[in-house]
Structure 1
Amino acid sequence: MAEISGTGIGQGIAHGPVATMAAGLEPPSDAPSKRTPDEEKQAVAEAVSATAAELNARGERAGGSAQDVLEAQAMMAEDPTLEESVHDKIDAGATGEYAVHTAFAEFAEQLQELGGYLGERAADLADVAQRVIAHLRGVSAPGVPEPGHPFVLVANDLAPADTALLDLDQVLAVVTTEGGPTSHTAILAREKGIVAVVGTGATGLEDDQIVIVDAENDVVIIDPSEEQISEATARADARAAAQAAPITPGALSDGTLVPLLANLGDPDGAAEAVELGAEGVGLFRTEFLFLSNDEAPSVESQKKSYVDLLAAFAGKKVVVRVLDAGADKPLPFLTDEGEENPALGRRGIRALSFHEDILRDQLTALAQADAETDADLWVMAPMIATIDETEYFMNLATELGLKTTGVMVEVPSAALLADQILKVADFASIGTNDLVQYTMAADRLLGSVAHLQSPWHPAALRLIKAVADGGQVNDKPVGVCGEAAADPLLAVVLVGLGVTTLSMSPSALADVRAELLKHTLQDAQRIAQAALDTGNADGAKSAARAAA
């Protein structure tokens, strides 16, 4: 028996025989083309168009975040920069297949060098290239194996097009040698509730070998004993029972209420979130309305989307974040082009205040949607760093008719000033991804500093506590809407630090609800203190596990 370590996604555990992903297509020959450049370019254009259409169709079938991911892949396929590179290689005598292979590989290498989130998109780009080449050859693209029985899928990494449509009656769990917690495999596995351990490195696993995939403990156990299999089965059954239990409000075992809310990126996910037990929405991202446009959408078009969302949560709290553009989400009509360090530049509320007409339109649309529906609408501003910014947003929102307005705490200065900011704002919501990035001076898009990007780090936990303390002093609610809330044990720590609500991907709600019910508020405070008393992220997580 041996163990392979990786990054577990969620709290699941599963066991079964391995089935490995087939190798990709054979690389194309570098022999010169026997066709004219125009003929090669036409063939590539048709293959790219067919690939994009196929990805979009898969996205429509999958829905949710998977649709966003696959639509982004379709856009990759048709990227003008890639097309220009392919044409240059064809003009130099290459075949269409070889031009696609080399142009996409060169761009993927650039993404890998950037690391982090962008580095993990390299796998998506490689998958697009394989699909285009398969169309050029008239063959099927490589995909998920079908051994004829339930199996544990082992792959270097999974393409979003494969992950989005996995047959969950057949795929017991997923193990990848590459990828990390922000890879699309991880994102989609978390959303679909797939047991997964990613980033294991070379596994040496072979078809039909029996393994246990233990996401909660970040390990894959090879050739387990009967006793280990029995224990894994018991844990899986207990988790299934907890998830199948009647949905109750989020609470600790002593009755302390902790509302559990959903993070959503568009109104389409509302029905599923309600079905999975979301007590409202803790983060509604509005970027989907803006990112695909050359200009800001009208008040009327925005209002329609907001009405759809609010109508799905009648009588419940819905927290909407106004447009958060900049850094990795530039917009031609809002953000500055060519900033040397956009993560530290004009983004979030800084960009919106500079283009106040866009902010006014969005707040107006939200106020109109609120007037037509029965949800409890809360609206917050992203990237608040100062009291002045807080006052600016609160005054403008109040002027335009919004009743409950607050701030995102993603910048350490806002956390340190929380007691003052929450004298002005109605509430605060902590975005842990950016808070960790700015606290640790570690760009979350850079793989070279990925080891510093953990919400478990005591420095980040202390800032979260400072915000919670500011909320208690002012009798104002403080939530967490970063995906840190989706980690059940970390959720307990956050409550112990004084956080009053937790918001996460809907698929994580059941695990977090079940974990909270194991602990009293006093337990949560003790577990949180154990994490705070350490000096690094791994130590904090280990201390919390021991204390729990």
Structure 2
Amino acid sequence: MSAASTAAVGHVLQGVGVGRRAVVGPVAQVRPAPHVAADAPLLVDGVPADVATAHAHVEQAFADVAARLREQSGRSTGTVKDVLAATAQMADDRALRTQVLARIDAGEPVVGAIDGIVEMFATMFEQAGGYLAERVTDLRSVRDRVVAAAMGLPAPGVPSLERPSVIVAKDLAPADTAALDLANVLAIVTELGGPTGHTAIIAGQLGLPCIVRVAGATALADGADVAVDAADGTVTVDPSEDQRAELERRATVERTLESDTAPGATADGRAVALLANIGTAEDAARVAGGGVEGVGLFRTEVLFLESTAAPSQEAQAAVYTRVLRSFGDRKVVVRTLDAGADKPLAFATQPDEENPALGVRGYRLVRTHPELLDTQLEALAHAQTATGTTPWVMAPMIATAAEAREFARRARAAGVATVGVMIEVPAAALRAQEILAEVDFVSLGTNDLAQYTMATDRLRGELADLLDPWQPAVLDLVDATARAGQQARKPVGVCGESASDPVLALVLVGLGVTSLSMSAGAVPAVRYALRHHTTAECATMAAAALAAPSAAEGRSAVVGLLHADVRETLGV
């Protein structure tokens, strides 16, 4: 697609949206990576540098890049801070730097040496898949910054913004995202990436509309007005006055919905707890004052993934205590460490695995490093005692009732009072009745459940249609789990992205789900949808979704059952 055709008035680019918000604003293209030939000489005072000088320049470039990233991390908070610190660690990585310098010492040109080693590491990460595959963007960001610093070129990244703008990039590294002047950022649009990548996560944390995998986005002209609609996953060039008015109407509706902070419930009074997903103690402090009823998913792996040694019981207990105190007597569901294989730990490295998504991850780490789980459970019990608040503690990647039984034994032995597990493996959903006999509650992780049910890598954006949580086969497993919960009279929550869709939320409640956890910004629309439909109406919608032959037809059928005023208000 040419730049001219892409910029045509009313032209629509399609991608994968993250969130529901929509904005209109001018495009601000991110400065691309420096394009320098692999054999380009490094010039010092106009003269090609000798090997020793090139070595010194590149070594200093790595150090400077790492220092700037650490400085940015120090000025940031929450997930942004952690991601920047991880990228700084990558720039500081001894293996990466040593291998580049060794090539330079052998006489290889600077850019060729950097490119060769970075691409070798990138290939390794991509083959590993999962979390490591997501880090490839960070790795290449380090490459671009080091090449620019070594060759005396301007650093790539976001331009200085003089007015509120839509940031557009091929891909946006976390370091670039963290450097954004939030007062002047309306939305983020990228050609690459995925809805679970770092850019999307950070955009969600910052409350920015985000659309990834938008083909042709980098051909948009700087300054061109675009409408970014995360709900539809569309970018419209020079939107019409009618479209602008509609987006402003939606923004007004969102603000109105946010003013309602009452507990979640259906029109006939059935309580449905509306909870937030968080990753850090800072996230907890940020969302605790909003209209959420607690936490449905506290991803504790952030404490582990960027550490070179396992965090101590004391360090963990301090974080868990902060989170519990942020929410007082409100419910906080804590997921124990979900790492290993595709999210490797520096202190618990696993042997090479051909398929990390099916490897030693989550609860399965107890097979090789049981002390990690036991220490975490003891820290959670300590936080429980220190606050007088009982966390709901659950294990990820449980596949059998025997695993659920053993996790519950360990947790209760440590002093944890309320114990559950995640249902994200089809085997666990099919045997939910037996699993619920061993624990106090379960929570459906619909992102992984869809991945395993549809045999589709959740990081492959081009397969997003198969990962659609409206897939009838995925809903069948949710239905089986919810029915098992009703029979056992035990809570069944959902903490995957499906909970943030106000239309799908009605289906989940109709299936018997008792709580919904999502990004805090998604809660108001879900609360509104629930309040305007009865439990019986939700059940009718659930039956329609289960009976549909496809995801698209299922959603269409349910949208047709919505009250007309709800369809209009939510724009569905």
The alignment's TM-score, normalised by the length of structure 1, stands at 0.91
Contact 2:114 2:143 in 1 (8 A): yes
- Of 450, 458, 478, the match for 1:444: 458
Matched residue of 2:167: which SS? strand
- What one-letter code is carried by the residue in structure 2 that aligns with 1:374? G
Change (3 A) 1:445 1:222: closer
Partner of 1:16: 25
- What one-letter code is carried by the residue in structure 1 that aligns with 2:62? V
Contact 1:32 1:93 in 2 (8 A): no
What's the offset of the Cα at 1:265? 2.0
What's the offset of the Cα at 1:475? 0.7
Change (3 A) 1:130 1:358: closer
- What one-letter code is carried by the residue in structure 2 that aligns with 1:9? V
Contact 1:115 1:446 in 2 (8 A): no
1:398-448 deviations in Å (ceiling 9; x for gaps): 233222111111111111111222122100011122212221222334567
Change (3 A) 1:435 1:199: same
1:319-360 deviations in Å (ceiling 9; x for gaps): 222223323123365564234434333333332155444433
Cα distance in 2 for residues equivalent to 1:291 and 1:496: 37
Change (3 A) 1:125 1:278: same
CA RMSD of aligned residues (A): 2.7
Cα distance in 1 for residues equivalent to 2:263 and 2:31: 44
Cα distance in 1 for residues equivalent to 2:439 and 2:51: 62
Cα distance in 2 for residues equivalent to 1:428 and 1:440: 21
Partner of 1:304: 318
Matched residue of 1:154: which SS? strand
What's the offset of the Cα at 1:479? 0.8
1:188-216 deviations in Å (ceiling 9; x for gaps): 22221112222120144223333221211
1:240 aligned onto 2:255: yes
Partner of 2:485: 471
Contact 2:285 2:323 in 1 (8 A): no
Cα distance in 1 for residues equivalent to 2:56 and 2:291: 50
Matched residue of 1:391: which SS? helix
Contact 1:119 1:447 in 2 (8 A): no
Partner of 1:383: 397
Matched residue of 1:194: which SS? coil
Partner of 1:281: 295
1:152 aligned onto 2:161: no
Structure 1's unaligned 5+ residue stretches are: none
Cα distance in 2 for residues equivalent to 1:489 and 1:471: 22
What's the offset of the Cα at 1:377? 1.4
Contact 2:298 2:334 in 1 (8 A): yes
Cα distance in 1 for residues equivalent to 2:274 and 2:327: 14
What's the offset of the Cα at 1:148? 3.0
Contact 2:128 2:353 in 1 (8 A): no
Cα distance in 1 for residues equivalent to 2:324 and 2:136: 37
1:37 aligned onto 2:51: yes
1:165-196 deviations in Å (ceiling 9; x for gaps): 43343222232222221232222222211122
The alignment's TM-score, normalised by the length of structure 2, stands at 0.87
Partner of 1:175: 189
Change (3 A) 1:514 1:94: farther
1:122-150 deviations in Å (ceiling 9; x for gaps): 33322222222232244542332346333
Please identify, of 498-507 and 249-258, the stretch whose mean Cα deviation from structure 2 is larger. 249-258
Partner of 2:4: none
Cα distance in 2 for residues equivalent to 1:369 and 1:428: 22
Contact 1:280 1:316 in 2 (8 A): yes
Cα distance in 1 for residues equivalent to 2:107 and 2:416: 62
Cα distance in 2 for residues equivalent to 1:136 and 1:43: 6
Partner of 2:385: 371
Partner of 2:474: 460
What's the offset of the Cα at 1:48? 1.3
Cα distance in 1 for residues equivalent to 2:315 and 2:179: 31
Partner of 2:220: 205
Partner of 1:318: 332
How many residues are treated as equivalent by the alignment? 547
Change (3 A) 1:166 1:357: closer
Cα distance in 2 for residues equivalent to 1:357 and 1:106: 33
Cα distance in 2 for residues equivalent to 1:376 and 1:429: 17
Contact 2:194 2:460 in 1 (8 A): no
Matched residue of 2:183: which SS? coil
Matched residue of 2:28: which SS? strand
- Of 232, 240, 243, the match for 1:225: 240
1:242-285 deviations in Å (ceiling 9; x for gaps): 22x14222233433322122222222221102023332221222
Cα distance in 1 for residues equivalent to 2:16 and 2:429: 29
- What one-letter code is carried by the residue in structure 2 that aligns with 1:225? S
Cα distance in 1 for residues equivalent to 2:228 and 2:461: 25
- What one-letter code is carried by the residue in structure 1 that aligns with 2:55? K
Please identify, of 464-473 and 118-127, the stretch whose mean Cα deviation from structure 2 is larger. 118-127
- What one-letter code is carried by the residue in structure 1 that aligns with 2:14? S
What's the offset of the Cα at 1:500? 0.8
Matched residue of 2:450: which SS? helix
Structure 2's unaligned 5+ residue stretches are: 1-9, 43-47, 563-572
1:431 aligned onto 2:442: no
- What one-letter code is carried by the residue in structure 1 that aligns with 2:166? V
